[in-house]
Structure 1
């Protein structure tokens, strides 16, 4: 009733959704295991994505928890190819489900490298900056998503927090998204965050005369203690997660290359603080 090729992006996402449904329904691992006539260790492996459950097992799991037919059908369908290494997820799955997937990657990673070429990495955003990025959403949905994004930052302060590396292009610092006051606060927060032992920030200066991997766009590399890394890329209305060893290795090499061309952590923090001072002075001078 299960496949062993776990650890894939879709298996992890499916497991996270199963775990969330179980917890919301008030069931323990052992209670669900009794319903499925199996042991709780196997159920736990399904919920972590370490083992890929068959569609039939997912149907039985959700049936035991009284999940609606529509939701059951969606997750059963998700299980059909959850053992595939790469995953294209479209916006039709909804922002809440996309966030569940991203949180699962963050929760289980030992090292996260976020190469940011458009906006400040999500785990380092202030609430006002995040709110400005989401300004096109309805107010209620926007506020809910801002709260969830800010809540995600807690992963960086937990006991087993991952080592987080943010490689940010200089142009990201120059765009005063939300206005200059919001951006100054964001830059100050960015510099302060770098004080943590597990957080490293590096700036890629503009004006490069040689090509480097960040010229191809943003990506996040999640590395795990005992599993192949996952590369996550977000587009306007979809996201891609790559898990094949060849793809993962290519992005690991890209990160190594970017470390060679980016500013050092200390120099980067000084640069961010200087840019915040400049932007604050412009704001006080009335510059738009």
Structure 2
């Protein structure tokens, strides 16, 4: 007799998702293999998700919701499931990103998580810890779904020039990452500026930070260290950091000039001719 893992639906959002998936599948009198055939996935994958060993995706959730007539339950659960896979100290930030009407980020060293490609994210997350890398990468990429909402937040990013030149994950990963940044050129709600080396000393020297504004809640400033984050709703702290952000935006290249620098760096540093050389 095949052993069936018994999930505790209260253990985690992922366990609850798996429990509900199995419950609806069994109510439909389908095996894992049969459900997989209906939604064009393997029965093995269905089993891994049911037993909380693998994260579901948006496409998987949507297909199962239709196939099993769940009324959209699994798709609604997905955001909670994916946020639960983030480090505990970062889950609050993901919630802030999901609720914010305006997000302002400053990153002198790395592409911000909301703008990373999958390859870049994997390279960053896997530097020290390779464990569970697929799920951790999926959780990071899921944060970007806020940019696809019917009314997404306004996202303004100031990135240090180092971000363009620090080779993370190899030439191809960087070329794809810079191309991804350029893909936002015509997006009226995502704006990217580059703070060039020639600026010298600037208001962001103490490090990266994010600013969140909400429709009806107090604004929040967020900064982080290696293993901890520090959100604050103190209006004096927010005001001081907001002033720094104003200075950073003023010192950075315009959106158009930033795109040109990104494009030039992509071609000269990570282009096909660079690989051959």
**TM-score using structure 1 length:** 0.64
Higher strand share: 1
Number of the residue aligned with 2:212: 222
Number of the residue aligned with 1:206: 197
Q: CA RMSD in A?
A: 2.6
Residue 114 of structure 2 corresponds to residue 153 of structure 1: no
Deviation at 1:169, TM superposition (A): 0.5
Which protein has greater RCO, CA pairs closer than 8 Å, 6+ apart?
1
Number of the residue aligned with 1:112: 103
Deviation at 1:127, TM superposition (A): 0.4
Q: In the alignment, which of 241, 265, 273 is matched to residue 275 of structure 1?
A: 265
Number of the residue aligned with 1:263: 253
**Contact 1:181–1:283, Cα closer than 8 Å, also in 2:** no
**Contact 2:113–2:140, Cα closer than 8 Å, also in 1:** yes
Relative to structure 1, is the Cα distance of residues 257 and 283 closer, same or farther in structure 2, using a 3 angstrom cutoff? same
Deviation at 1:97, TM superposition (A): 2.2
**Contact 2:114–2:141, Cα closer than 8 Å, also in 1:** yes
Deviation at 1:99, TM superposition (A): 3.8
Paired residues, what number? 202
Relative to structure 1, is the Cα distance of residues 96 and 276 closer, same or farther in structure 2, using a 3 angstrom cutoff? same
Deviation at 1:134, TM superposition (A): 1.3
Q: Indicate the SS of the match to 1:249.
A: helix
Deviation at 1:139, TM superposition (A): 4.2
Q: CA–CA distance in 2 between the matches of 1:94 and 1:23?
A: 8
Relative to structure 1, is the Cα distance of residues 148 and 25 closer, same or farther in structure 2, using a 3 angstrom cutoff? closer
**TM-score using structure 2 length:** 0.66
Q: Indicate the SS of the match to 2:150.
A: coil
Q: CA–CA distance in 2 between the matches of 1:23 and 1:141?
A: 14
Unmatched 5+ stretches in structure 1? 1-19, 27-92
Deviation at 1:281, TM superposition (A): 3.5
Q: Indicate the SS of the match to 2:169.
A: coil
Number of the residue aligned with 1:242: 232
